[in-house]
Amino acid sequence: MAETTADVRRDIELTRERMSTTLQQLENKLNVKQVVRENPWPALAIAVGAGVLLSRSQTDVKAAAATVAATRGASSKVGTVLDEVVANLVRGLHEAFESRITTMVDDLKSAIGAPVSRSGNGGTRSPGASVRAKNRNQNKQDRQE
């Protein structure tokens, strides 16, 4: 069996062609779009059956319950911390604005000669308001001297 180089090359080429044809046929069989186009009703029946089986397994409910259980503690802790941070920020901003506005109103009243009220917000001041008022009065006296 003495084969020549040409014979071996020809055999290799034939093998390549057969493999290409086989691969092409496999690709056609595994092409889901093509299968559905050729057989739409059986494909629809398979899809509905798979949906029913998956819905009966309750995996979506189990996954949701696991997610809720895993994040239950973390979300409440983070929410509490964020609530405290926001409350402190708003409280600080409120006190800063209130102090600044009260000072501006008192300065304006002093400039026009109107009497400066001791309780600028109806008698309810923040805890540091009396200290701020003393500081304002001291600053006014320092400016007058």
pLDDT at 123 over 50: no
**Mean per-residue pLDDT, 102-127:** 70
Q: Are residues 8 and 47 in the same domain?
A: yes
Q: Are residues 78 and 142 in the same domain?
A: yes
Q: Are residues 52 and 12 in the same domain?
A: yes
pLDDT tens across 46-105, in order? 888 888 887 778 777 788 788 777 777 666 677 778 888 888 888 888 888 888 888 888
Q: Are residues 1 and 31 in the same domain?
A: yes
Rounded distance between C-alpha atoms, residue 92 and residue 77, angstroms: 23
Q: Are residues 96 and 133 in the same domain?
A: yes
pLDDT at 126 over 60: no
Q: What is the pTM of this model?
A: 0.32
Containing domain of residue 32, as a range?
Answer: 1-57
Does residue 43 lie within any of the structural domains? yes
Does residue 68 lie within any of the structural domains? no
pLDDT at 124: 46
Does residue 95 lie within any of the structural domains? yes
- Among positive and negative, which fits the CA dihedral 81, 86, 92, 98? negative
pLDDT at 19: 92
Q: Are residues 141 and 79 in the same domain?
A: yes
Q: Are residues 15 and 41 in the same domain?
A: yes
Q: Are residues 125 and 85 in the same domain?
A: yes
Q: How many domains does the chain have?
A: 2
Rounded distance between C-alpha atoms, residue 30 and residue 26, angstroms: 6
